[in-house]
Structure 1
């Protein structure tokens, strides 16, 4: 049952990140780059974040490179919290989203960075110890 729960969590987490990464490109990555510049982050980092979210999300869904992408996505969410969301608070204020979702996603990604994927993953199939 733990493998099933871990797999469901991994797929939902991966889907969430993949959609967010895709959305950054779909709506025009320049908007994200402009936002990054406005909060003091170099605009080119928008491309890096979007690629990590898109590629990392797909990899997490597949259970491929789960620990690596879990770590990268954790760092991405911690960065989002401290650069863009912390000042607004946990729940948010004045119509701005807080960091509650970012914290939950960071915790889920950290779980996979530490635990790896379940046996229902490409990591398990490709790198199983024999």
Structure 2
């Protein structure tokens, strides 16, 4: 049986992946042009909306299946740090009539934890790169 640590990071990975996937999907379903316009209204280049929505959508799926987990989590952590600093910080932790940065901070912490520790339980990475892991371990002990 897998250890508790692997199960806990698996749960974080899947929940974070589903959440980002849904957020990315909502950006496209609601009309990506609206998000492009909103980015412009807060002083960001509108084309960044496409990158953010794609990262959330594709990155969310990648996290759920465990593909490129550390890289995707690192990119999502940067995304959350940017969202906090550019949009949410002025309204405060809980917000004042609008959402604060508490949820973004939780997503940032989850992303950083997964980026640092990885998550191999039920992950495509562990299946695709199984031989590579053993090779790296042998190289370290030599």
TM-score calculated relative to the size of structure 1: 0.95
Match of 2:110 in 1: 108
Give how far 1:113 is off. Answer: 1.1
Matched, 1:9 2:12: yes
Matched, 1:123 2:128: no
Give how far 1:116 is off. Answer: 1.2
Structure 2 residue runs without a partner (length 5+): 135-142
Aligned pairs (5 A) from 1:64-103: 64-93=67-96, 95-103=97-105
Misfit runs of 4+, over 2 Å: none
Match of 1:54 among 53, 57, 62: 57
Aligned residues between the structures = 129
Give secondary structure in 1 for the equivalent of 2:120: coil
Structure 1 residue runs without a partner (length 5+): none
- The two structures, once aligned, show a CA RMSD in angstroms of 0.9
Larger radius of gyration: 2
